[in-house]
Structure 1
Amino acid sequence: MASDKNTAFFGHPIGLSSLFATEMWERFSYYGMRALLVLFLTATFANGGFEMAELDAFTIYGIFTGLVYVTPIIGGILADKVLGQRKTIYIGGLSMAIGQFLLATSAMSVESNMAFRQPLFYAGLGILILGNGFFKPNISTMVGELYDNNDPRKDGGFTIFYMGINLGAFLSPLVAGYLGEQIAWEYGFLSAGAGMLLGTTWFFIRSHTLGNIGMPPKVKAERNRLAVKDWISILIYVLVIVAFIIGFILGWSSIAAGIQTWIIRIVGFGGLAYLIFSIVTGTNGKTEWSRVFVILILAVFNIFFWSGFEQAGTTFNIFARDNTQRMIGSWEIPATWFQSVNAIFIVLFAPLFSVLWLKLDRKKLNPNTPMKFAWGMIFLSLGFIIMAIAYTKSTTGNADGPVLLVSPLWLVFVFMLHTFGELCLSPIGLSMVTKLSPPKLVSTMMGVWMGSFAAGNFVASQMKAISIRLQDALGREVQVFWLIAIQSAIIGAILVVLSPWLKKMMKGIK
């Protein structure tokens, strides 16, 4: 663990700067691709897309963004048991770069038939999903290992780290979104792949600032660099990931539907059983179990937050394209650029929230973690109330489509409120997991936490379909934005009520 006296990066350990920039480039890669995904899938064949129906594109988006957060469970377990965090980060980074380049290749192949384009596209998504599973939980775990559990800088450190995430998320729609939407889809995906390679290279160059944090298990404490055999195993893992996904894509369609269903069930239940086994064998005593239950309970509430927040890539993206006035003179703002608004506000407000928590802590007024989660849900609900009003304003009087393109300031204001909610919940949640997890299960529990993001992302992709089914059942309009606003307000109220009990279960951890 880094020394508490090491305050070379804005009062934080110097290793935070290395992890900050690595995560920034990885998020540049991910959010650049995410900003393009639904628009690419729904674009016509003539414009280089797949000409999918909107709800079908939402489902693919939800499956992808959901699985992106399931595979960190695998990456977390492998890091804890076998590889260590550093090797898993290199494996994930290199794999994700390959996945982005395969997406670019599928976009370049417009003249080819769909039998060629689709396998390339799905292989790219699959490799991105597995690569992210290796990368995502372990870099967050390494941030936590820079601090002691009750170091008051820890929440602030995660908030600064979160700024790195959102600096990448801000830049990527502007660069990858513009290149993909305005020039050609493949250039957007290529820029995302290049960003991933930059992040992996930076992590390698700056690894000396991390001491021995993240080294493979059972390695001598004085070692702080990977050996040649470690690099050979990294390359083998990357090749296995690529070969497995390509083989899976090519072979899956030849398997009978009934067998496909059983394979999914066996893998799902087997993975869940192993996860439960890992938690049971790695948790000891009433204190550790009490803290683990807090993580699991808040993970459930986390699903509801992200089922709303992740409308940014689906319904908000379509609203920006179809319902928002994007013309400035003769120039049209790319719809993907609105994906940068949240990140702008994160970069602007994250330092203020970081300072706020420290000042409140000194005055003994710092809200406990569950109460911060409650505030996150309340801000989310307020944002959706504004969004519902904007949608009504745009569509009133015409059931077939908008009669009025509304000001982009509606979306900007919604993103600001959602940013406040995110800052109350997401970096705090990452910090909480590293504080409350048993020492041998930090990466595994981080994987569980990412799993709640997975469920939230998939539910987000289905909220529009859920609102349509409710509408059919009730015989009256059920607007998706009002549905999420009401759901979020109810969850926020429940968290306020449960907050004292959950704080007690944290057993002295703030």
Structure 2
Amino acid sequence: MSVDKNKAFFGHPLGLSTLFASEMWERFSYYGMRALLVLFLTATFASGGFGMNEQDAFTIYGIFTGLVYVTPIIGGILADKVLGQRKSIYIGGLTMATGQFLLSASAWIHGSDVDLEFRQTLFYAGLGILIAGNGFFKPNISTMVGELYDNNDPRKDGGFTIFYMGINLGAFLSPLVAGKLGEQVAWQYGFLSAGVGMVIGTIWFFLRSHTLGHIGMPPKVKAERVRLVVKDWFGILTYWGCVVALIFGVILGWSALPSMVTTIIIYVLAIGGVLILATNIFKGTSGKAEWSRIGVILILALFNIFFWAGFEQAGTTFNIFARDNTQRMIGSWEIPATWFQSINAIYIVIFAPIFSVLWTILDKRKLNPNTPMKFAWGMIFLATGFVVMALAFTRSTHGDAVRLVSPLWLCLVYMLHTFGELCLSPIGLSMVTKLSPPKLVSTMMGIWMGSFAAGNFVASQMKAISLKLQEAMGADIQVFWMIAIQSAIIAVILVILSPWLKRMMHGIK
């Protein structure tokens, strides 16, 4: 028995509804936690937070959001070689729900009589378990969407568009629910709601798995098998238990190691990863044209870091600005600061179809910018957004006093940054699949995801960098102006390099 690819969900295979809702709930879980993270870490001990300074909270945020782009590489390999996508999704769902519940527990058990070190262990273990679970879940549900369609099925692009809407629907709803509960009721309820969302998504996937036919079953399983058996579920629970135990072991063991040893381990892993990637590239690339195209991917991956270093201020400095500098009162009701994290998702849903049509219209008129120029436009929109943000921050600060500004400032910034994202993010993913040698598509996609990881970490350090520049230059340097100028310079460099990079692509648009 195989999945009926003609049975319709808005004209698409019925299995798309299963994957759409499962991914929506997973994104609900992730973005709900992401919206709360910095605010929770900087909240007072009395309210259940950790009372951290902003920069320490930003660093933790950056490490977390960076690593969630690294673990899918491992999860994808395990699914391809050992587990299959379906088992991987169950492992990821159970693991991420566990991580969310541990974060909730770290907020729940607060007070003067509670051991801070124990709370920190629960918190860091929760983050680590979330990172590991994301590695199992994220790459494999997208793969299953592609397997619903034959390669020549004209509905395939539309199917991914519907799936992408599920991602943004979850990203839109989660700050409204988890953010409201976490900020205005209690932090633990925000994380708890994110965990419940992940459980709902996993249960939905289980109840609707019959719509997927054989898709996602473990490797070498006969085609007539469409459901997991007891042995498979034993394996899922074993992986889940081992991942949770491993993360707790790493958290406890890491703190016991001397700093020199942990530094050596980090360098060894980093150098080893780079050597493995370099070896794969050398083995899989042949001919001047392929090497030239690889060069384009690597150069644009570097520029991609700068884009996300700015864009991901959404969860750090923008989050703090929403909390401390934005007028959020409507009568006697206060808008939660986390709700502003939903704006980007709304804009994506509104403007993604418009940009898709725009590229088609420009192409027909032979005005469609090449890939490097689209990256330049992405950086221009990013820089413009930060100019607006810098003006808003200047307007809201008068010495030590703060004058709250209209939320429309943040709405405008998020709109401009969404335009930049639509010029760069989907274009970059398409570019990697087009320019990579056939044997290296997954490897180069891993490198591209690595640039997202680096960008997220750099984003967490931008305010610290601005403060160091301020000390060195003896002048007041606002972080938003710094990023605006940096982004504008990168845009100019991309415009200058665009003709050269276009030639390096050897005819691929």
TM-score (norm 2): 0.90
SS of alignment partner, residue 69 of structure 1: coil
Q: In 2, are the aligned partners of 1:137 and 1:450 still within 8 Å (CA)?
A: no
SS of alignment partner, residue 256 of structure 2: coil
SS of alignment partner, residue 50 of structure 1: coil
Alignment partner, residue 231 of structure 1: 233
Alignment partner, residue 478 of structure 2: 479
Alignment partner, residue 409 of structure 2: 410
Change (3 A) 1:149 1:276: farther
Alignment partner, residue 131 of structure 2: 129
Change (3 A) 1:10 1:197: same
The separation in 2 between residues aligned to 1:485 and 1:171, in whole angstroms, is 30
Change (3 A) 1:506 1:29: farther
The separation in 2 between residues aligned to 1:150 and 1:291, in whole angstroms, is 26
The separation in 2 between residues aligned to 1:282 and 1:235, in whole angstroms, is 37
The separation in 2 between residues aligned to 1:123 and 1:254, in whole angstroms, is 15
Alignment partner, residue 340 of structure 1: 342
Deviation at 1:303, TM superposition (A): 1.0
Alignment partner, residue 488 of structure 1: 487
Change (3 A) 1:21 1:371: farther
1:172-251 mapped onto 2 (5 Å cutoff) = 172-210=174-212, 212-219=214-221, 225-251=227-253
Q: Are residues 1:423 and 2:422 paired?
A: yes
The separation in 2 between residues aligned to 1:294 and 1:227, in whole angstroms, is 46
Alignment partner, residue 96 of structure 2: 96
Deviation at 1:255, TM superposition (A): 1.2
The separation in 2 between residues aligned to 1:160 and 1:358, in whole angstroms, is 19
1:42-441 mapped onto 2 (5 Å cutoff) = 42-111=42-111, 112-144=114-146, 158-210=160-212, 212-219=214-221, 225-281=227-283, 290-361=292-363, 365-395=367-397, 397-398=398-399, 400-402=400-402, 404-437=403-436, 441=440
Change (3 A) 1:445 1:145: farther
The separation in 1 between residues aligned to 2:224 and 2:368, in whole angstroms, is 38
The separation in 2 between residues aligned to 1:295 and 1:227, in whole angstroms, is 42
Change (3 A) 1:201 1:290: farther
Q: In 2, are the aligned partners of 1:174 and 1:337 still within 8 Å (CA)?
A: yes
The separation in 2 between residues aligned to 1:116 and 1:288, in whole angstroms, is 52
Q: Which runs of 5+ in 2 are unaligned?
A: none
Change (3 A) 1:484 1:472: same
Alignment RMSD, CA only? 3.0
Deviation at 1:116, TM superposition (A): 1.5
The separation in 2 between residues aligned to 1:361 and 1:228, in whole angstroms, is 53
The separation in 1 between residues aligned to 2:193 and 2:296, in whole angstroms, is 40
Change (3 A) 1:9 1:434: farther
TM-score (norm 1): 0.89
The separation in 2 between residues aligned to 1:50 and 1:177, in whole angstroms, is 17
Deviation at 1:235, TM superposition (A): 2.3
The separation in 1 between residues aligned to 2:351 and 2:151, in whole angstroms, is 25
Change (3 A) 1:157 1:205: same
Deviation at 1:211, TM superposition (A): 5.4
Deviation at 1:506, TM superposition (A): 4.7
Q: In 2, are the aligned partners of 1:377 and 1:491 still within 8 Å (CA)?
A: yes
The separation in 1 between residues aligned to 2:462 and 2:472, in whole angstroms, is 15
Deviates more, 1:318-327 or 1:199-208: 199-208
The separation in 1 between residues aligned to 2:180 and 2:161, in whole angstroms, is 28
SS of alignment partner, residue 324 of structure 1: coil
The separation in 2 between residues aligned to 1:132 and 1:123, in whole angstroms, is 14
Deviations 1:321-367 (A, max 9, x none): 11111111111111111111111111222232233344445555544
Deviation at 1:284, TM superposition (A): 6.0
The separation in 2 between residues aligned to 1:19 and 1:505, in whole angstroms, is 38
Read off the aligned partner of 2:104 and give its amino acid letter: A
Deviates more, 1:86-95 or 1:478-487: 86-95
The separation in 1 between residues aligned to 2:142 and 2:53, in whole angstroms, is 36
SS of alignment partner, residue 51 of structure 1: coil
Read off the aligned partner of 2:65 and give its amino acid letter: T
Change (3 A) 1:227 1:184: same
Read off the aligned partner of 1:478 and give its amino acid letter: I
Q: In 2, are the aligned partners of 1:163 and 1:350 still within 8 Å (CA)?
A: no
Change (3 A) 1:440 1:204: farther
Q: In 2, are the aligned partners of 1:327 and 1:333 still within 8 Å (CA)?
A: yes
Change (3 A) 1:447 1:151: farther
The separation in 1 between residues aligned to 2:150 and 2:301, in whole angstroms, is 23
Deviation at 1:190, TM superposition (A): 0.8
Deviation at 1:160, TM superposition (A): 3.9
Alignment partner, residue 458 of structure 2: 459
Q: In 2, are the aligned partners of 1:433 and 1:446 still within 8 Å (CA)?
A: yes
The separation in 1 between residues aligned to 2:21 and 2:107, in whole angstroms, is 29
Deviates more, 1:228-237 or 1:307-316: 228-237
Deviation at 1:289, TM superposition (A): 5.1
Change (3 A) 1:242 1:177: same
Q: In 2, are the aligned partners of 1:141 and 1:434 still within 8 Å (CA)?
A: no
Change (3 A) 1:195 1:366: farther
Change (3 A) 1:169 1:373: same
The separation in 1 between residues aligned to 2:162 and 2:485, in whole angstroms, is 31
Deviation at 1:243, TM superposition (A): 0.5
SS of alignment partner, residue 380 of structure 1: helix
Change (3 A) 1:266 1:332: same
The percent of aligned pairs where both chains have the same amino acid is: 78
Q: Which has the higher contact order (CA 8 A, sep 6+)?
A: 1
The separation in 2 between residues aligned to 1:206 and 1:389, in whole angstroms, is 50
Deviates more, 1:22-31 or 1:499-508: 499-508
Deviates more, 1:432-441 or 1:40-49: 432-441
Q: In 2, are the aligned partners of 1:155 and 1:354 still within 8 Å (CA)?
A: no
